[in-house]
């Protein structure tokens, strides 16, 4: 039998796949709108698609286990050295490597209430103790998180913007926080949604790594780059931290198509810009819709927004019956709220059209 700390885990609940809902409800797949997993509704950029196709020609070979070309592309893009990069099978993989390398029995990880679900999951799977710090205005309370650090703390997880609340911590506050965290505590700054930040919100965490060797910046190609299905993420940090993560990393953890696609996507600024602009417009479309309906929402810096409906489970069920998939977040301690991802204009419109009749 598995040990108690494994049996106590409640598994991650992903958004319901379109094919599953179609079968459950007897709906045509094409009529279903999925706004549940913070995916990029624009799909994949053309240059990236071409790179994927080229990589398919060599699919009988193992991928480059060290991901040289993608790392080289990241070096050029961000001015880091190759030994400052670890690649992950999605950034979830990076988070798990952190837990595998830095956590374990008798150790603690600190994260915020309503923060991304993989932090408690990875902590628990490593047999460590998770310390959940109450949220402030649905976001991270950095002072309380500092106060929660004990001699057993090895990792602090911070998502900026946070999922599922979309809350954002300004760069200067993060920098001041880093200056106060003990040097033997790794701060994982999860920037999965950083490409969606407005120009006046942007900050340069990668530039802080030289000053804070205990900082690991984690990013992904799943969101703004439109590659969620390929599973590519990365961590940037001090070479000593990266070396430890590489020890627990699976060989060949990123597939060859993923490596090629990500390297191409990284330089497709045009696609990134279009994704940003479409997201900003979609965010406005949804929040104006909430306003018309008199619904509360939490201002979001990501590609999703969390809104208050009262009975989240019931409204979610009603939306599913209409072929609209959003994300219930009862598991995040927010049973009265639902999270909706920004979709195409037509998808957002469909969601807003069915929503009034789904409210209970």
Q: Give the C-alpha distances (Å, rounded to integers) separating 15 from 11, 38, 41, 51, 115.
A: 13, 10, 15, 28, 17
Among 222, 256, 275, 303, the residue binding ligand PMP under the rule CB under 6 A is 222
Pick from 323, 324, 358: nearest CA to 340: 324
Taking CB under 6 A as the criterion, the residue among 27, 228, 313, 344 binding ligand PMP is 228
List the x/- string, 5-44, binding to ligand PMP by CB under 6 A: ---------------------------------x------
Geometric angle at alpha carbon 328, from 316 and 295, rounded to 5°: 70
Q: Which is nearer to ligand PMP, 190 or 352 (CB)?
A: 190
Find out whether the peptide bond into 165 is cis, omega within 30 degrees of 0.
Answer: no
Q: Find out whether 312 and 318 touch, Cβ atoms under 8 Å.
A: no
CB 219 within 8 A of CB 234: yes
Stretch that binds ligand PMP, among 46-54, 87-95, 103-111, 247-255 (CB under 6 A): 87-95
Mask: binding to ligand PMP, 262-301, rule CB under 6 A, as x and -?
----------------------------------------
Q: How far is the CB of 277 from ligand PMP (least distance, A)?
A: 21
Q: How far apart are CA 340 and CA 229, in angstroms?
A: 19
- Rounded to whole angstroms, the Cα distance separating 285 from 273 reads 18
Which lies closer to ligand PMP via its Cβ, residue 70 or residue 318? 70
Q: Hey, what are 348's tokens?
A: 């957002």
The whole-angstrom distance between residue 341's C-alpha and the CA centroid of its chain comes to: 12
| CB-based burial label for 141 (10 Å; 0-12, 13-18, 19+) | middle
Query: Is residue 190 at the binding interface for ligand PMP, with CB under 6 A as the rule?
Result: yes
Is position 116 an interface residue for ligand PMP (rule: CB under 6 A)?
Answer: yes
Shorter beta-carbon distance to ligand PMP: residue 163 or 322: 163
Q: Does 91 bind ligand PMP (CB under 6 A)?
A: yes
Q: Which of 130, 233, 312, 328 binds ligand PMP (CB under 6 A)?
A: 233
Comparison of 140 and 318: residue with beta carbon closer to ligand PMP: 140
**CA-to-CA separations, 251 to 64, 65, 104, 118, 255, in angstroms, rounded:** 9, 6, 22, 22, 10
Give the DSSP letter string of 240-277: HHHHHHHHHSPTT-S-HHHHHHHHHHTT-HHHHHHHHH
Report if residue 220 touches ligand PMP, rule: CB under 6 A: yes
How many residues interact with ligand PMP (rule CB under 6 A)? 13
Nearer to ligand PMP, 90 or 289 (CB): 90
Q: Which of 15, 41, 63, 90 binds ligand PMP (CB under 6 A)?
A: 90
* Contact status, residue 98 vs residue 122, Cβ threshold 8 Å: yes
User: Whole-number minimum distance, CB 69 to ligand PMP, in Å?
Assistant: 19
Q: Does 163 bind ligand PMP (CB under 6 A)?
A: yes
Residue sitting closest to ligand PMP (CB): 90
Residue 160 touches ligand PMP, criterion: CB under 6 A: no
109 contributes a contact to ligand PMP by CB under 6 A: no
d(CA 327, CA 171): 28
Q: Is 113 in the site for ligand PMP (CB under 6 A)?
A: no
Q: How far apart are CA 64 and CA 147, in angstroms?
A: 43
Determine if 159 is a binding residue for ligand PMP (CB under 6 A).
Answer: yes
By the rule CB under 6 A, 123 interacts with ligand PMP:
no
Collapsed DSSP state (helix, strand, coil) of residue 267 = coil
Q: What sign results for the dihedral spanned by CA atoms 138, 140, 143, 147?
A: positive
Tell me if 188 contacts ligand PMP by CB under 6 A.
no
Please, what is the minimum distance in Å from the beta carbon of residue 238 to ligand PMP?
21
Instruction: CB nearer to ligand PMP: give 252 or 314.
Output: 252
Helix (H, G, I), strand (E, B) or coil at 108: strand
- Tokens coding 18: 């379109």
> Which residues would be at the binding site for ligand PMP (CB under 6 A)?
38, 90-92, 116, 159, 163, 190, 192, 220, 222, 228, 233
């Amino acid at each position: 039998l598995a040990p108690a700390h494994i049996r106590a885990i409640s598994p991650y609940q992903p958004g319901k796949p379109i094919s599953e809902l179609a079968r459950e409800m007897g709906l045509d797949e094409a009529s279903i709108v999925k706004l549940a997993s913070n995916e990029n509704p624009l799909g994949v950029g053309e240059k990236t698609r071409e790179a994927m196709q080229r990589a398919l020609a060599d699919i009988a070979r193992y991928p480059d286990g060290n991901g040289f070309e993608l790392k080289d592309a990241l070096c050029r893009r961000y001015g880091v050295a190759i030994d400052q990069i670890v690649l992950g099978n999605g950034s979830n993989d990076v988070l798990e490597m952190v837990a595998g390398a830095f956590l374990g029995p008798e150790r603690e990880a600190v994260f915020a209430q309503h923060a991304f679900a993989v932090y408690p999951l990875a902590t628990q799977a490593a047999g460590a103790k998770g310390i959940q710090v109450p949220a402030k205005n649905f976001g991270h309370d950095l002072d309380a998180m500092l106060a929660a650090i004990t001699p057993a703390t090895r990792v602090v997880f911070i998502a900026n913007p946070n999922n599922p609340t979309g809350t954002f911590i300004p760069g200067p506050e993060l920098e001041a926080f880093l200056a106060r965290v003990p040097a033997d505590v790794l701060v994982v700054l999860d920037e999965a949604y950083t490409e969606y930040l407005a120009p006046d919100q942007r900050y340069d965490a990668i530039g802080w790594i030289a000053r804070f060797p205990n900082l690991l910046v984690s990013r992904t190609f799943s969101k703004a780059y439109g590659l969620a299905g390929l599973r590519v993420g990365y961590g940037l940090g001090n070479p000593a931290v990266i070396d430890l993560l590489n020890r627990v990393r699976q060989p060949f953890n990123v597939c060859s198509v993923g490596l090629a696609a990500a390297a191409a996507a990284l330089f497709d600024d045009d696609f990134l810009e279009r994704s940003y602009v479409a997201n900003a417009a979609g965010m406005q479309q949804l929040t104006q819709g909430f306003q018309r309906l008199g619904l509360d929402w939490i201002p979001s810096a990501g590609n999703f927004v969390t809104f208050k409906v009262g009975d989240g489970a019931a409204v979610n069920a009603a939306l599913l019956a209409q072929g609209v998939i959003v994300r219930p977040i009862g598991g995040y301690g927010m049973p009265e709220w639902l999270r909706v991802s920004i979709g195409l204009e037509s998808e957002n419109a469909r969601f807003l059209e069915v929503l009034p009749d789904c409210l209970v």
